[in-house]
Structure 1
């Protein structure tokens, strides 16, 4: 536990964090995350955050050392995609029970589980995650992993991020520490070249990185490791030989990016693949960093030619949507890099941003939003569900872009909604991804169902005046009376 405490303090003192540098020594030790309240939803624990960062490594077995519910809580909680191995989607857990805790069988059960995975699947590595229960009872997973690695000639990586130590964001960083300590640098690649890069913080949600990688391939740039999206263990183990790095989500792996720069001289920049302008800027920055690291300057010209070609294609496709979407109002309830990258992307085609959340955004993210929107009036730290519903029901926004947790607020307000968080079904990165995002927004806003659900229900259309049918013994007279009754009451119903 002393080594875990030291790692946590090291993460809290992250010098690359602009917000952290502005604090005094006492405030810096408390970290950036709000303290967790026992029994309250805190947006994920440290274990959950570590599992999110590491699970997309596709050819690795992910073994959770703890009760069954911990694995059930975190399994497949992001829409990451793999181009090959499916082992990462297999759930492994030691399934500790009360009897195991009382009898002290935790470490023995963990060693046995590692052996069974090795014999049944033969993965290149096994990642072992500690949980609250196993950390509290004192199971030394690092010692067990070290012994198992020697016994089975296998890379066994301990991930010390029990849930009670902090928030999901802290778990992200502890996962980066585990990669830095046990994986990166473990293998020396024999094919390192001047055009090798790392992409950090890219999760390949819905396979969207596959829309970006072909652009890099056309430039002759090789992604040595994309961490963690669609990653392989050996690629990450040799990531220290990359010449440059792009950081997509700084709040998740900023500590990993900084330390790789310090240890192996891998310069980095923070960028985004959301939106046409941001994608072009990211390609330019990658090329410029590689040239600074010794690559042939001719790559700069090839990059500009590729950007011009792809931008022309994308703008031509987007031109069809501009008349239908220009002036439409969008409310974003997301965070992190999407709080500014998606804003910029949508404004490029004339969509108005009425608000964007900055709950999970860094200081740099907020500054970018101010520069893009020209003011901070449209930024909100947190919007209560009641306020969000009132804003949507009053038609102050034409569509809500958010995660799945707020979709029902939009549906109750009879407002179009589109998922742009990790559960989304469509890729939005790169030039083609931007076109797909705009297409999905257009489909959502102009779906005829919204006009129908906003109309009054048939049972709300009650007659304003009640009249009785006149009585008569003659059938012909009765028929005339019915027709006259229908004519006089037709205008007495409420509008529908």
Structure 2
């Protein structure tokens, strides 16, 4: 077995997952993802998953060693936000052609591209991504990256996650392995302290993490590294000196959290910043972990005081929306951590959940949903577009919360829709984010446009003619018909 195959097999065998530990050896080798359908991307390939995890590292140059289409399909695929550098928004690719493949010019072209990026942009590091084509023709990106790093005097990180090896989730984990092998631990910070933490699996979508970080700042807790949201290379390189870690989406980077715990004694827990209760619980667990790692226990009291203050403010703001939204029915068609964290957040203000999808959710996610809803009838693995449309057109839900791919189903069913996936325009994390989520739901449901679009179109309204029209085609009869219609009133028409 090659070293790359062994690495993939190691990612599947995840001892930090309770369900995985209970499986036999054969089941562990299969992992938690569904088998891929030949020729289908299964919601994203491994390369796409690796790019999702690493691209939000904002000051790094991300170079795709592939034909142009690979970078075109994966560039800027998430609404992550940066507070500074914009280099990550620049698309770099070796743009391999058929001639390059036939003549074996791939590795030479990659080395040249690394040199051009170094001279033109001077980034702190360059990440090089392998893809299906370059992996199949045998380009050794690790050897090229090692030679380029020695030649140009900067880190050049190989990311071995060609699309054909598995699903997007596998690519997430392979990206974590690349950080662990080539980045984390390579820089020794000189300001490490007892209140340093890492946040893993937080992508800072629409600037969500900026709503949470001020809460940690008020507690004196420093985020040593947020991986990957709004991250800098040097912060991730020194992430091994954090005292504790929180995983926001365990399905993506639980392997990274476990191995950092094993190597550098950084305990972790899985939490969520969606909803008032979950945000408060996350702050408590962070403080408790830090105390176990040697921090002053007085932080526990300050944490409770902050939680009480912020919860009171948030509940006061939400009180205005409760009479308008209590009892409203919401259908969620999403997955992962949002499949249970958003459900819990909405139920806190009296919104009824008529259904939530568990696509791409881990076994732990599914167990949480069952515990929250206490009814398996509201949980579905995957809902076909026809079934989703039928449910909405029969008014079984007042609003659909999903990603952009299903928005047109809701619009066709004349049902309000709100984007809660990675393309969303509003941040929903933390206390303020919860208020914003409720505000957006209220705006969508109460929008007067829905009353208008549900009314029959004017051309579908048939006039109720009171007298039988003459059966002659003479000019006099036609004039009589015109006069008859001219004398009608609005009440002479049907339900319209």
Relative to the length of structure 1, the TM-score reads 0.96
Contact 1:414 1:453 in 2 (8 A): yes
- How many angstroms does 1:479 deviate by? 10
What is the rounded CA distance, in whole Å, between the counterparts of 1:477 and 1:359 in structure 2? 66
Contact 1:248 1:272 in 2 (8 A): yes
Change (3 A) 1:468 1:48: same
Unmatched segments (≥5 aa) in structure 1? none
Contact 1:50 1:161 in 2 (8 A): yes
Change (3 A) 1:294 1:479: same
Change (3 A) 1:212 1:468: same
What is the rounded CA distance, in whole Å, between the counterparts of 2:474 and 2:175 in structure 1? 89
Unmatched segments (≥5 aa) in structure 2? none
1:199-251 superposed Cα distances (whole Å, 9 cap, x missing partner): 00000000010000000000000000000000000000000000000000000
- How many angstroms does 1:458 deviate by? 0.2
> What secondary structure does 1:254 align onto?
helix
1:42-90 superposed Cα distances (whole Å, 9 cap, x missing partner): 1000000000000000000000001000000100000000000000000
> What secondary structure does 1:332 align onto?
strand
Contact 2:398 2:415 in 1 (8 A): yes
1:328-375 superposed Cα distances (whole Å, 9 cap, x missing partner): 000000111111110111011100000011111111111111121122
Contact 2:336 2:361 in 1 (8 A): yes
- How many angstroms does 1:14 deviate by? 1.0
- How many angstroms does 1:274 deviate by? 0.3
1:225-282 superposed Cα distances (whole Å, 9 cap, x missing partner): 0000000000000000000000000000010000000110000000000000000000
Contact 1:18 1:363 in 2 (8 A): no
Contact 1:469 1:485 in 2 (8 A): no
> What secondary structure does 2:16 align onto?
coil
Structure 1, 356-365 or 17-26: larger mean CA deviation: 17-26
- How many angstroms does 1:24 deviate by? 1.7
Match in the other structure for 1:104: 104
> What secondary structure does 1:225 align onto?
strand
Relative to the length of structure 2, the TM-score reads 0.96
- How many angstroms does 1:410 deviate by? 0.4
What is the rounded CA distance, in whole Å, between the counterparts of 1:471 and 1:10 in structure 2? 85
Change (3 A) 1:494 1:192: same
- How many angstroms does 1:481 deviate by? 9.1
For the aligned residues, what is the CA RMSD? 2.3
- How many angstroms does 1:2 deviate by? 1.7
> What secondary structure does 1:138 align onto?
coil
What is the rounded CA distance, in whole Å, between the counterparts of 2:474 and 2:379 in structure 1? 74
- How many angstroms does 1:41 deviate by? 4.1
Contact 2:41 2:167 in 1 (8 A): no
- How many angstroms does 1:32 deviate by? 2.0
Q: How does 1:78-477 map to 2 (within 5 A)?
A: 78-465=78-465, 467=467
Contact 1:267 1:289 in 2 (8 A): yes
- How many angstroms does 1:25 deviate by? 1.1
Structure 1, 430-439 or 480-489: larger mean CA deviation: 480-489
1:139-173 superposed Cα distances (whole Å, 9 cap, x missing partner): 00000000000111110000000000000000000
1:424-453 superposed Cα distances (whole Å, 9 cap, x missing partner): 000000000000000000000000010000
- How many angstroms does 1:491 deviate by? 4.9
Contact 2:340 2:368 in 1 (8 A): yes
> What secondary structure does 1:354 align onto?
strand
> What secondary structure does 1:197 align onto?
strand
- How many angstroms does 1:378 deviate by? 0.8
Contact 1:416 1:450 in 2 (8 A): yes
1:370-409 superposed Cα distances (whole Å, 9 cap, x missing partner): 1211222211111111111000000000000000111011
Number of aligned positions between the proteins: 496
Residue 20 in structure 1 maps to residue 20 in structure 2: yes
> What secondary structure does 1:377 align onto?
helix
What is the rounded CA distance, in whole Å, between the counterparts of 2:109 and 2:374 in structure 1? 58
Contact 1:131 1:161 in 2 (8 A): yes
Residue 38 in structure 1 maps to residue 41 in structure 2: no
Change (3 A) 1:484 1:250: same
Change (3 A) 1:101 1:472: closer
What is the rounded CA distance, in whole Å, between the counterparts of 1:455 and 1:26 in structure 2? 57
Contact 2:461 2:494 in 1 (8 A): yes
Contact 1:198 1:227 in 2 (8 A): yes
List structure 1 runs of 4+ shifted beyond 3 angstroms.
464-492
Change (3 A) 1:132 1:41: closer
Contact 1:208 1:429 in 2 (8 A): yes
What is the rounded CA distance, in whole Å, between the counterparts of 2:18 and 2:396 in structure 1? 34
Contact 1:464 1:492 in 2 (8 A): yes
Contact 1:48 1:171 in 2 (8 A): yes
